[in-house]
Amino acid sequence: MTSEIIVAVLACAGTVLGSMFGVIASNNKTLWRIEQLEKKVEKHNNLVEWRAEADDKLKNLQYQIIEIKERIERIDNHE
């Protein structure tokens, strides 16, 4: 009977340790994947910010072009 108890305890310990190592390995892989996604999101956010700044600069340049064209037209009309 004692050998059966020892086998049962060892089987239980093996199951618990195996489950723990499996959970730890899975958790580490999940954390690594989250870190990779965070890096991708950071790159995307930087691109979005850059694009917004570029759009603002482009709008400003378009307004400046319109003003220059209007000035040229006024100069041409006065001559």
pLDDT > 70: what percent of the chain? 99
pLDDT digits (tens, 9 = 90+) for 16-45: 999 999 999 999 999 999 999 999 999 999
Q: Give the model's pLDDT for residue 78.
A: 78
Helix (H) or strand (E) holding 4: helix 2-78
pLDDT > 90: what percent of the chain? 86
Q: Give the model's pLDDT for residue 77.
A: 83
Q: Count Cβ atoms within 10 A of the Cβ of residue 28 and give its class: 0-12 exposed, 13-18 middle, 19 or more buried.
A: exposed
* pTM of the shown model: 0.57
Token code pair at residue 73: 């037209």
